Amino acid sequence: MRWSRRTRRPRAGRIARRPGRGLRGDEQVAGWLFVAPMIVVLGLFLLLPIGMALWVSLLDWAPSQGDPFAGGGEFVGTDNYSSLFVEEGLARQDFMTSMRNTFYYVVFVVPLQTALALFLAVVLNQRRLRARGFFRSAFYFPSITSSVAISMVFLFLFLNNGGVNKALGWFGIDGPPWFSDPTGIFHLALARVGLQSAPPPLAATEIGGLSVWEWLSGPSVAMCAIIALVVWTTAGTFMLMFLAALQDIPVEVDEAALIDGASTSKKFWHVTLPQLKPVLFLVLTLGLISTWQVFDQVYVMSQGNPDKTTLTPAYLSYTESFIGQNWGTGAAIAFVLFAIILLMTLVQRWVMRDRDRPRRARRTRRPEVVRP
């Protein structure tokens, strides 16, 4: 019955799957055999460790207590998770601080690096530009250099008497002690307009162990240095993606737009940019994922200091586990981070969905293609 109904209203792709011993019945075995090595590798090195970590996140466990799968550690249910969100204490305070820091970090890094990458790609895509190869390598260079090495260089640049502050000094600006200044830049801006300390209602109201005033601090001066570093290093990678997409855009479209009398800026916003949408989605997604997971730079440059304003969930997960020996909490943080990244990506997919051509309209207008 169901079969006949399907044949009447076929959907693309579905019909190829035939049950039973058909023309391609034996291919299934071969198919599984071909996929088997990958399934084993993925299962062993991806699914299994994820499952193990999930189990550990439900335990009060340290490696010195023996095998967590043979009774080592105490099962505490979701205690590790509630210590991050509900229970008052240091764990929640640290976690929420890391959330705030990383939120500001993402909010600054993702738009900045995407804009910079796009700008560089558009510049490089101009046919009149000389020495394109040189600039392309130069912009891409930071991306292929080790992040630890670059972090070390930035550490020297941002010293109190380092290159950045000396350069600022030429313009008569007294640079801050970058990596020891925990003041948030929103707080600094508010101080400029005369709001030196927290207004009582903001200081008194707490969300997740941090006062609203603390939530609104913005990235600290130290975090700004890290933001600058990351924008500078990753923009090159994304520039390359934009560049590839730009070179895919047919010249005719550009010319047609010019003939129609579009100005350069109109052409960019209404002709070029819409065609870059899939790449923009890719760049934003990759950017979101990597920024939420920021670890190397913090590990090398600041270790969460000053005053925990560069603490990030990934780094906190590391310190909780390896240094604090609270592996359960560390694993729980990792899973919360995973959920956040998943959620952010879904939200972003939804925001960037194709609004111009709703599905229903497309289906009624176009005849469906029936594949053999």
Quick one: 51 or 274, whose CB is closer to another protein?
A: 51
Quick one: 149 or 256, whose CB is closer to another protein?
A: 149
* 274 lies in the site for another protein, by CB under 8 A: no
Q: Tokens representing 69?
A: 């799968």
**Residue 184: what are its φ and ψ, rounded to 5°?**
-75, 150
Size of the site for another protein (CB under 8 A): 48
Q: Is the sign of the CA dihedral 4, 5, 8, 9 positive or negative?
A: negative
Categorise residue 66: left if φ over 0, alpha if ψ from -120 to 50, beta otherwise: left
DSSP code string of 151-209: HHHHHHHTSTTSHHHHHHHHTT-----GGG---BHHHHHHHHTT--S--HHHHH-EETT
* 319 lies in the site for another protein, by CB under 8 A: yes
Which residues, listed in sequence order, are joined to residue 59 by a DSSP beta bridge?
75
In the complex, the smallest distance separating the C-beta of residue 321 from another protein, rounded to whole angstroms, is 8
CA separation for the pair 113, 358 (Å, rounded): 31
Helix (H) or strand (E) holding 98: helix 90-124
* 19 lies in the site for another protein, by CB under 8 A: yes
CA separation for the pair 238, 244 (Å, rounded): 10
In the complex, the smallest distance separating the C-beta of residue 219 from another protein, rounded to whole angstroms, is 17
Residue 310: closest CA among 132, 78, 155: 155
In the complex, the smallest distance separating the C-beta of residue 325 from another protein, rounded to whole angstroms, is 5
Quick one: 34 or 69, whose CB is closer to another protein?
A: 69
Q: Which of 323, 357, 369, 370 binds another protein (CB under 8 A)?
A: 323
Question: Candidates 3-11, 36-44, 237-245, 287-295 — which segment interacts with another protein by CB under 8 A?
Answer: 36-44
* 34 lies in the site for another protein, by CB under 8 A: no
Q: In 3-state terms, what secondary structure has residue 357?
A: coil
Q: Which of 12, 15, 30, 40 binds another protein (CB under 8 A)?
A: 40
DSSP 45: I
* 43 lies in the site for another protein, by CB under 8 A: yes
Write each residue from 180 to 199 as x if it is in contact with another protein (CB under 8 A), else as -, in one continuous string. Answer: x-x-----------------
- Applying the rule CB under 8 A, the residues between 57 and 96 that interact with another protein are 62-72, 89-91, 94
Q: How far, rounded to the nearest angstrom, does the alpha carbon of residue 30 sit from its chain's CA centroid? A: 38
Measure Cα distances from 137 to 7, 122, 127, 236, 305 in Å: 55, 15, 17, 9, 34
Quick one: 21 or 127, whose CB is closer to another protein?
A: 21
Question: Candidates 2-10, 143-151, 177-185, 286-294 — which segment interacts with another protein by CB under 8 A?
Answer: 177-185
Quick one: 48 or 129, whose CB is closer to another protein?
A: 48
* 169 lies in the site for another protein, by CB under 8 A: no
Residues 6+ apart with CB under 8 A from 180: 160, 222, 305, 306
Measure Cα distances from 136 to 38, 94, 116, 131, 302 in Å: 36, 41, 14, 9, 31
* 50 lies in the site for another protein, by CB under 8 A: no
* 45 lies in the site for another protein, by CB under 8 A: no
* 320 lies in the site for another protein, by CB under 8 A: yes
* 179 lies in the site for another protein, by CB under 8 A: yes
Residues that bind another protein (CB under 8 A): 19, 28, 32, 36, 39-40, 43-44, 47-48, 51-52, 62-72, 89-91, 94, 159-162, 177, 179-180, 182, 304-308, 319-326
